[in-house]
């Protein structure tokens, strides 16, 4: 059964938000774009009443900028509003498909429009981190001359992904993931607004809670699921959207996680620090966050091996072989069963006593190597493999440890220049404290 298009209403978008006329069957997320800054939900620190950026937008004196934030946080919407409020032309392109030729056409049109009418152009580049250096360099002269006001949107850290020259000419504004209350407000508006569902169908309380939870701070995901949930409910002639409709629409929570981006590094950092700080609950939570979002389990296993030697170390010498066993088990069985050895190793390391004496000893020895260079090996420690070597004194005076009580011998093993130098200082916990 096909849904009635009238159920979803006709778009009514203010000229201050967009100059594009959206068709009646446009996606709900597109139709519900805010018409003005007062309708914009979230990011109060940037565009809330009295904020510096909002004042600059309303004066039409805003700079070129990079909007950095997770998917669905309002980057594209905010760029459109900025152009709309200031009555600027809005030219949009995606760095995934656009090239230098597209940039040149857009900037040429912008310069022509400015000469003809004095009207400025906002050049919006979505996923600007995907532009290569040549493409970013092509934008730079136009930004410097004021031919366009650049607004780039990215989910990646711009300090790594955007050229320094371009970054120095733009302000970076950080957008946060929307809160559950923010997502709920957007959903409620879409249910009632004439641009949205216009009270044509209801969303029950359980379904609303499910939708807000599964959206995970992504407004676009929430509105897409709401629209599909409405179609599902309408198809079965139900008067309201229920939790089961939302679950069918979303299938599963779309966790914010990019195996090559900031979220990847942020979550693994939280995992490492939770294990290091002996917090088993947080450690297993971040482990689950990574694995449920599709992280490579071998990447996690390698980090566990590193943790065992770097942070547990000699406080518990059993930690490293257990971590290596977890890595080998993960390689052998794969997911989903690999979660068992990974969880076991994570909890073991979190609960184990901690020592970084191995790292501290190595760093101290490393510094000595860099400071003193290739000092000669003491003669008594050298291997006398030939008669000539023995004549030269190689191995002379060496004391064989097993000839002494408890296999311990007192003799110098460092070069003369480092005699008596101490690199290793035992830790005060676990096995190491007993030595």
How far is 232 from 243, CA to CA, in rounded Å? 11
* The pLDDT value given to residue 428: 84
* The pLDDT value given to residue 325: 95
How far is 155 from 174, CA to CA, in rounded Å? 10
| Of 85, 34, 35, residue with least CA distance to 58 | 85
* The pLDDT value given to residue 11: 32
Beta pairing partners, 150: 123
116 close to 156: Cβ distance less than 8 angstroms = no
User: How does pLDDT run across 237-284, given as a tens digit for each residue?
Assistant: 888 898 888 888 887 555 555 555 556 778 888 999 999 999 999 999
Q: Comparing 124-133, 244-253, 326-335, which segment has the lowest mean pLDDT?
A: 244-253
How far is 331 from 88, CA to CA, in rounded Å? 56
pLDDT band at 309 (very low <50, low <70, confident <90, very high): very high
pTM of the model: 0.60
pLDDT band at 151 (very low <50, low <70, confident <90, very high): very high
Query: At residue 21, does pLDDT exceed 70?
Result: no
User: Which pair of tokens denotes residue 338?
Assistant: 């690999």
> Pairing state of beta strands 202-203 and 240-241?
parallel
Q: Domains in the chain, ordered, with CATH?
A: 43-174 (3.40.50.300), 180-250 (1.10.8.60), 262-351 (1.20.272.10), 374-433 (no CATH)
* The pLDDT value given to residue 306: 93
Cis bond before residue 336 (omega within 30° of 0): yes
Residue matched to tokens 């565009």 = 47
To the nearest whole percent, how much of the chain has pLDDT over 90? 29
User: How does pLDDT run across 168-216, given as a tens digit for each residue?
Assistant: 888 999 998 889 999 999 999 999 998 888 888 889 898 899 899 888 8
* The pLDDT value given to residue 311: 93
Which residue did the predictor score with more confidence, 301 or 98? Answer: 301
Query: At residue 18, does pLDDT exceed 60?
Result: no
How far is 235 from 44, CA to CA, in rounded Å? 38
Run of H or E residues at 68: strand 65-68
3-state secondary structure of 94: strand
pLDDT band at 328 (very low <50, low <70, confident <90, very high): very high
200 close to 234: Cβ distance less than 8 angstroms = no
User: How does pLDDT run across 373-411, given as a tens digit for each residue?
Assistant: 888 889 888 988 888 888 888 989 998 889 888 888 888
To the nearest whole percent, how much of the chain has pLDDT over 70? 91
Burial status of residue 237 (CB atoms within 10 A of its CB: 0-12, 13-18, 19 or more): exposed
* The pLDDT value given to residue 340: 95
| Of 180, 235, 176, 239, residue with least CA distance to 208 | 180
User: How does pLDDT run across 36-65, given as a tens digit for each residue?
Assistant: 888 899 888 998 888 888 888 888 888 899
- 279 phi/psi in degrees, rounded to 5: -110, 90
Mean pLDDT, the chain, whole residue set: 85
User: How does pLDDT run across 362-374, given as a tens digit for each residue?
Assistant: 899 999 899 888 8
User: Which pair of tokens denotes residue 148?
Assistant: 């366009």
3-state secondary structure of 412: coil
């Amino acid at each position: 059964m096909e849904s009635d298009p009238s159920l979803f209403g006709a778009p009514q978008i203010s000229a201050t938000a967009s100059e594009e006329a959206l068709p009646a069957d446009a996606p709900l997320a597109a139709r519900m774009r805010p018409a003005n800054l007062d309708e914009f939900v979230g990011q109060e620190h940037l565009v809330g009443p009295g904020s510096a950026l909002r004042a600059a937008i309303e004066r039409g004196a805003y700079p070129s900028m990079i909007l950095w934030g997770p998917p669905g946080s309002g980057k594209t919407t905010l760029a459109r509003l900025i152009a709309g409020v200031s009555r600027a032309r809005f030219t949009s392109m995606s760095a995934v498909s656009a090239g230098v030729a597209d940039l040149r056409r857009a900037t040429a049109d912008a310069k022509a429009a400015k000469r003809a009418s004095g009207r400025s152009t906002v050049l919006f580049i979505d996923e600007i981190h995907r532009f290569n250096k040549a493409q970013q360099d092509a934008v730079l002269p136009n930004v410097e001359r004021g031919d366009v006001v650049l607004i780039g949107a990215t989910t990646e850290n711009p300090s790594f992904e955007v050229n320094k020259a371009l970054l120095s000419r733009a302000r970076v504004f950080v957008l946060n993931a929307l809160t559950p209350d923010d997502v709920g407000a957007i959903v409620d508006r879409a249910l009632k607004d004439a641009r949205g569902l216009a009270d044509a169908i209801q969303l029950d309380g359980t379904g609303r809670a499910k939708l807000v939870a599964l959206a995970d701070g992504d407004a676009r995901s929430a509105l897409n699921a709401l629209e599909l949930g409405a179609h599902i409910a309408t198809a079965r002639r139900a008067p309201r959207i229920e939790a089961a409709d939302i679950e069918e629409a979303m299938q599963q929570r779309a966790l914010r996680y990019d195996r090559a981006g900031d979220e990847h590094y942020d979550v693994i950092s939280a995992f490492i620090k939770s294990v290091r700080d002996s917090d088993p609950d947080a450690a297993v939570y971040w482990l689950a966050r990574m694995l449920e979002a599709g992280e490579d389990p071998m990447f996690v296993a390698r980090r566990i091996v590193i943790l065992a030697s770097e942070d547990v170390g000699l406080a518990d010498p059993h930690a490293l072989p257990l971590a290596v066993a977890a890595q080998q088990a993960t390689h052998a069985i794969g997911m989903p069963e690999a979660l068992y050895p990974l969880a076991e190793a994570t909890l073991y390391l979190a609960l184990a006593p901690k020592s970084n004496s191995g790292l501290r000893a190595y760093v101290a020895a490393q510094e000595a190597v860099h400071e003193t260079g290739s000092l000669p090996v003491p003669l008594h420690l050298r291997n006398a493999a030939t008669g000539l070597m023995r004549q030269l004194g190689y191995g002379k005076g060496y004391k064989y440890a097993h000839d002494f009580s408890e296999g311990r011998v007192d003799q110098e093993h460092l070069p003369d220049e480092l005699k008596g130098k101490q690199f290793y200082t035992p830790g005060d916990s676990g096995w190491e404290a007993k030595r």
